[in-house]
Amino acid sequence: MADLPIAAVVRIAKKNGAERVGSDAAEAIVQRAEKYIATLTKESNKLAAHAGRKTIKKEDVDLAAKS
């Protein structure tokens, strides 16, 4: 079961030019988005830990997104 709401993903897709989004496509977007978020969080957490922090900061996320 997905954690991201499908309706929010469909809204984002429509804001970015999609006229219609099929339910299977929306689910695929949700799955890939959740995978990206998980990877980004893991990398951000590594950077925070390297800096001696438990809290992920924006700078950690920015650096993780660049790599």
Under the banding of pLDDT at 50, 70 and 90, the label for residue 2 is: confident
10, 38 Cβ separation under 8 angstroms: no
- Whether residue 11 lies inside any domain: the answer is no
pLDDT of residue 18: 97
pLDDT of residue 56: 98
- Whether residue 49 lies inside any domain: the answer is yes
- Whether residue 7 lies inside any domain: the answer is no
- For residue 61, the domain's CATH number is 1.10.20.10
- Whether residue 39 lies inside any domain: the answer is yes
17 Cβ contact list (under 8 Å, min separation 6): none
Distances (CA, A) of 16 to 9, 21, 59: 11, 11, 26
Closest CA to 38 of 12, 4, 13: 4
- Total domains in the chain come to 1
Range of the domain at 49: 22-66
Taking only the tens place, the pLDDT of each residue in 3-14 is 999 999 999 999
HSE of 20 in the Cβ direction (CA atoms, 13 Å)?
3
pLDDT of residue 67: 86
Taking only the tens place, the pLDDT of each residue in 18-32 is 999 999 999 999 999
- Whether residue 17 lies inside any domain: the answer is no
